[in-house]
């Protein structure tokens, strides 16, 4: 089995009681409008590497589970602390490596993550959520930037949601499915190494995981929106899988 090191991006999400989700201790923000062309995350989480390289990201969705991309593989480091192993990795049964559709996987941790003001789960977008095109959301990661392939500090950037129609015009009518959501194309972008990391949007006062970094241009051209697995479309599978495991 191939093992991959993940950094779990949590936005330091914490509410009045640890364990609640969606209310950041420090709200996502950008200074100016500039991960490619992003900046250090306000919560300044360190990136961790195996043999000098970072591979994928993921989102802590409860104390026992991490959501990542199906095209990534397995072993997790949450925050800046001890190595946590994965006891179970479940890829969406309809994931296609050809079309990159349904590009999510769930990783069950060997022991529960200790929640702190810097490590707390992100809310999952409900299946009924409607994020309007143009809504400014945030993505974070430790992937390639405009200046380095190995940033030491978690990067973040604000990017607008792109409508499915516009995204299909850019990527092709058959390339964008209902299980995908697009964002970016406005000067910053997710890039290589950010796969599996979060796209979060504020909805009704709560920050929710709307997307998981999936694919885009190999050159990470910031004029093109990146493509994310659409959590609302995949929510029922996520809930069923966690409940039965």
What is the set of active-site residues?
71, 103, 195
- What is the C-alpha separation between 15 and 26, in angstroms, rounded? 11
Contact assessment for residue 70 and residue 91, using Cβ atoms and an 8 Å cutoff: yes
Q: Token match 């994931």: residue?
A: 95
Q: Name the 3-class secondary structure at 96.
A: coil
Contact assessment for residue 219 and residue 235, using Cβ atoms and an 8 Å cutoff: no
- What is the C-alpha separation between 29 and 221, in angstroms, rounded? 22
Give the Cβ contact number of residue 27 at 10 Å. Answer: 12
Tell me whether strands 74-78 and 3-9 are parallel, antiparallel or unpaired: parallel
Task: Quote the tokens at residue 184.
Answer: 């970016």
Q: Name the 3-class secondary structure at 46.
A: strand
Cβ neighbours for 111, distance < 8 A, ≥ 6 positions apart: 84
């Amino acid at each position: 089995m191939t093992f991959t090191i993940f950094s779990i991006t949590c936005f330091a999400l914490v509410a009045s009681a640890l364990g609640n989700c969606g209310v950041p201790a420090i709200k996502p923000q950008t200074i100016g409008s500039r991960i490619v062309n992003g900046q250090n995350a306000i919560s300044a989480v360190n990136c961790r590497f195996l043999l000098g390289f970072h591979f994928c990201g993921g989102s802590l969705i409860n104390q026992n589970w991490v959501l990542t991309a199906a095209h990534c593989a397995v072993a997790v480091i949450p925050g800046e602390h001890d190595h946590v192993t994965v006891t179970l990795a479940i890829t969406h049964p309809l994931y296609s490596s050809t079309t990159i559709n349904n590009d999510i996987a769930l990783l069950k941790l060997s022991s529960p993550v200790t929640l702190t003001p810097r490590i707390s789960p992100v809310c999952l977008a409900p299946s009924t959520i409607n994020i309007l095109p143009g809504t400014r959301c945030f993505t974070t990661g430790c992937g390639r930037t405009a200046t380095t392939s190995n940033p030491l500090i978690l990067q973040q950037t604000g990017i607008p949601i792109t409508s499915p129609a516009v995204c299909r015009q850019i990527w092709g009518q058959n390339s964008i499915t209902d299980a995908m959501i697009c964002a970016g194309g406005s000067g910053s972008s997710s890039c290589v190494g950010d796969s599996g990391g979060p796209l979060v949007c504020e909805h009704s006062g709560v920050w929710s995981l709307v997307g998981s970094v999936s694919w885009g241009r190999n050159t990470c051209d910031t004029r093109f929106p990146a493509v994310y697995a659409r959590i609302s479309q995949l929510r029922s599978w996520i809930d069923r899988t966690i409940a039965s495991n």
